[in-house]
Structure 1
Amino acid sequence: MRSGEIKALTGLRIFAAVWVVLFHFRPLLYGAAPDLTAALAPVLDRGAQGVDLFFILSGFVLTWTYIDKMGKTWSTRATLRFLWLRLARVWPVYLVTLHLAALWVVFTLNVGHVPTEDLAPYNAISYLRQLFLVQLWFEPFFDGTSWDGPAWSISAEWLAYLMFGVLILVLFRVARATRARSLMLLAVAVSVPPVMFLLVTGHFYTPWSWLPRIILQFTAGAVACLAVRRLDPSDRVRRSSGLLALGIVVAMVGILYWFDSHPIPDVIDSGGVVDVLFVPLVIALAIGAGTLPGFLSMRAVVYAGQVSFSLYMVHELVHTAWNWATRQFEVTLDGTAGAKWIVLGLLVLSFLSAVALYHVVEEPARRWMRRMVDVRAVDNPVQQIDSARSGKSATPRAG
């Protein structure tokens, strides 16, 4: 398996994004459907771990796409092109949501009686740091670093992108010297240290904990990709892997419920140990067929996966606007049918906003920025002049 989109992993992205969305919407869910939300709490309360799954997927997909292009030897041109294409993928939506967050602050200061209380983060230095995706690099904790809350992880990923040009050189050589089974074990091993920190400290959210999360999870995803590239699975193995992926998901849910009822002593975020199953899940989905991989590869699910980044970036703006409205108009979610419809409407609005962002901003801007580095080389000026004099057209050569 060496090329082409792995659709099951694209489809997986929407579930990672929805996990994060529901994590942030928990207060609203408790207000609208307290009994159901309480029953799902062991899963919802660990929704922040969806970000770790995103980091692993990012490392996997980028290695899948670029290892043959960038792994053999260092190329400054190829590395700069890679960085520009990554900017083309994330920067447009990032910039739009950044400025929407700023405009929302301006709105609250001029409309109603519930202005944004803490204006300290909104200054020129903070703006420039966020503009260049470096706002997280100066802070031990990610809360409050970004005007649009989820953007902290994009700042973290930008750091991973900058190190990717060197990392891919190492990965290329590791892949040539290591068997698939060893690569799988190595990928799992690389993803373990954040869980070890959890067991030592009692929770994920510690000073600078975001740094090993992005570096190690991103690298774990990259090594998992190396393992998949070395495999040539039979149809039977692919079907078995599909069933294994489904079993891993069931095991993850079971673990979350178990540790909710039987937490590890002195470990607040006990359910966070499910992170060690993310790499096996990604590998199983990448080579699997049928069952869960088949479902995640359905057109509608893949499309939702393509929209997932915009959903991830816009949902907190919808959440913030609703929280303002509840204070402005003294609205309370009381568990009635109307409250349930309100929360469902907010979730639908978040998704529709993401669809709009994807089609109006993300994809058009990505194609526009990509054309900047995919411009075909034109013939030299002397040839163009000679062709013009002779009445012949000068056809640009492919770059």
Structure 2
Amino acid sequence: MQAKLANSEELPLLSSLRGLAAIMVMLFHARLILFPQAKELIASHSLLLENAYLFVDLFFILSGLVLAHVYAHSLQGPRKSVSYWQFLGLRLSRIYPLFLLTLLILLGWESIKALAGRGYYGGPLFASWGMIDIPAFAGPFNRLDALGSQFFLLQSVFNDSLSWNVSSWSLSIEWLCYLLFPLLLPLTRQRAGWRWLAAALALLALGMVHRQLGSLDATTGWPAVARGLASFTLGLCLLPAVRSRVAQHWLNNDPALGVALALPLVLLQLPTSLGMSLALIVSFAGLVYTAAIQSRRNGLQTLLDGRLGRWLGDISFAVYLWHTVLLLVGVEVLHWLAPAFLASWYSQTSAGLLLLGIMLFTFLTCAVATLSYHGFERPMQRYLRQRLALRPTRHTSLAANSLTMPAIEGKNT
């Protein structure tokens, strides 16, 4: 008989997957500003960083599964313990404070630039695209006309997705997923056989996005909504299989977990194509499922569920939002205060120095994210829930660090 997964059981390996995805998205953006001189050279040897934007889809799949695991019973049925509005309040208290803080910091920096008469600078790659010395509040990212949609997490709906904290476009789509979440919960029922139809339709929607854009790099309008909602739905559809531990006998071991981890990394080395993109999404879903049903604690499983993996999972949401701020503001500060140093950095191509720079930026981002997590996110989350009388139930305190994009539940529910 197949073992059942109790509703109260945690899914610990998913935390380290969030951390990995956040770091990869950070490196995807960093290649444009931190080390653009090495971008083409790296791409000639590996397409991993060029395709790393697809790790956002892993976030959406993770979010769908974990939120379903936490709320499937508490949001529906005669014994539901969380109302729709409580659910939205719980989620908003997790994602909005840090988003707002980073937005206000970018707004403050843009105000300083306006007072000092400084224009936009994003490094030599953006300069080669004609994006240089643009007046404050005029773009290419920190546009005054995009502020309204930002404050209401509607930037992707109103075609303002890549503005201000550009990583937050996925929070906009995540918020739409939260709004629609109760309508999608029937997909999590054990006997909802038509969830396979929903999964097929999700892949079809992703195929339509790829056909429209030539890739899944959709961050605005209906393609972004379809992309996020489709991947979120795939995560929801995984819950019945996770609960019943389908194929656990074959997949609950280090070799299976290793293959599940390696397959997406191999696919990400391939040039962008419809087949590659859909295969990658399926492999992400397979990885999330395989990680969710692991119960042994040895070898690779122990490594992923160790202190490092859990720490990266805890700070993954902060890494996701802070790295963009550090890149956008940091390059302009250096261009203002130390232009000779910055010019020297962009003119050198030493592999050792570039690797050192990447390591230092990763360390800085993780340090800021750790301070943010312990010093701002969790205290603010507790404060808002006390003020709004939002009390996480036994189940909603389990999925501690969901990142939908970012953010799953649990200690941080």
The alpha-carbon deviation at position 137 of structure 1 amounts to 1.7
Are 1:137 and 2:151 an aligned pair? Answer: no
Letter in 1 for 2:154: V
Aligned twin of 2:130: none
Aligned twin of 1:380: none
Aligned twin of 1:354: 369
Are 1:90 and 2:109 an aligned pair? Answer: no
Cα contact 1:97–1:148 (8 A) shared by 2: yes
Q: Structure 2 vs 1, CA of residues 189 and 359 (structure 1 numbering), >3 Å: closer, same or farther?
A: same
Letter in 2 for 1:281: L
Letter in 2 for 1:200: R
Aligned twin of 2:175: 158
Q: Secondary structure at the match of 1:4?
A: coil
Between the aligned partners of 1:195 and 1:232, the Cα distance in structure 2 is 26
Are 1:255 and 2:267 an aligned pair? Answer: yes
Between the aligned partners of 2:210 and 2:379, the Cα distance in structure 1 is 44
Residues 137-216 of structure 1 aligned to structure 2 (within 5 Å): 137-139=157-159, 142-144=161-163, 147-168=164-185, 170-172=186-188, 174-178=189-193, 189-197=200-208, 200-201=211-212, 202-205=214-217, 208-216=222-230
Residues 357-376 of structure 1 aligned to structure 2 (within 5 Å): 357-371=372-386, 372-374=388-390
- 1:246 pairs with one of 253, 258, 272: 258
- 1:63 pairs with one of 39, 62, 68: 68
Q: Structure 2 vs 1, CA of residues 374 and 117 (structure 1 numbering), >3 Å: closer, same or farther?
A: same
Q: Structure 2 vs 1, CA of residues 32 and 76 (structure 1 numbering), >3 Å: closer, same or farther?
A: same
- More displaced stretch, 52-61 vs 198-207: 198-207
- 1:302 pairs with one of 301, 310, 317: 310
Aligned twin of 1:226: 240
Cα contact 2:177–2:232 (8 A) shared by 1: yes
Cα contact 1:8–1:294 (8 A) shared by 2: no
Between the aligned partners of 1:105 and 1:370, the Cα distance in structure 2 is 32
Aligned twin of 2:113: 108
Aligned twin of 1:117: 134
Equivalent residue pairs, number: 358
Are 1:315 and 2:323 an aligned pair? Answer: yes
Letter in 2 for 1:46: N
Between the aligned partners of 1:375 and 1:42, the Cα distance in structure 2 is 45
Between the aligned partners of 2:168 and 2:282, the Cα distance in structure 1 is 24
Letter in 2 for 1:197: M
Between the aligned partners of 1:177 and 1:326, the Cα distance in structure 2 is 56
Q: Structure 2 vs 1, CA of residues 68 and 362 (structure 1 numbering), >3 Å: closer, same or farther?
A: same
Structure having the higher Rg = 1
The answer to which structure has the higher helix fraction is 1
Between the aligned partners of 1:226 and 1:167, the Cα distance in structure 2 is 14
Letter in 1 for 2:260: I
- 2:14 pairs with one of 9, 16, 31: 9
Cα contact 1:85–1:370 (8 A) shared by 2: yes
Q: Deviations over 1:92-114 (max 9, x none)?
A: 11110110111121122234744
Between the aligned partners of 1:128 and 1:255, the Cα distance in structure 2 is 38
Letter in 2 for 1:189: A
Long gaps (5+) in structure 2: 121-132, 393-413
Cα contact 2:73–2:80 (8 A) shared by 1: no
- More displaced stretch, 18-27 vs 113-122: 113-122
Q: Structure 2 vs 1, CA of residues 321 and 292 (structure 1 numbering), >3 Å: closer, same or farther?
A: same
- More displaced stretch, 341-350 vs 355-364: 341-350
CA RMSD of aligned residues (A): 3.1
Q: Deviations over 1:109-168 (max 9, x none)?
A: 2347445725247677643332221222222x7323xx1111111111011101112222
Structure 1 length as normaliser, TM-score?
A: 0.79
Between the aligned partners of 2:82 and 2:354, the Cα distance in structure 1 is 54
Q: Deviations over 1:339-386 (max 9, x none)?
A: 54333322211111111111111111111222232479xxxxxxxxxx
- 1:279 pairs with one of 275, 278, 285: 285
Q: Secondary structure at the match of 1:44?
A: coil
Q: Secondary structure at the match of 2:103?
A: helix
Identity within the alignment, %: 27
- More displaced stretch, 195-204 vs 363-372: 195-204
The alpha-carbon deviation at position 282 of structure 1 amounts to 0.4
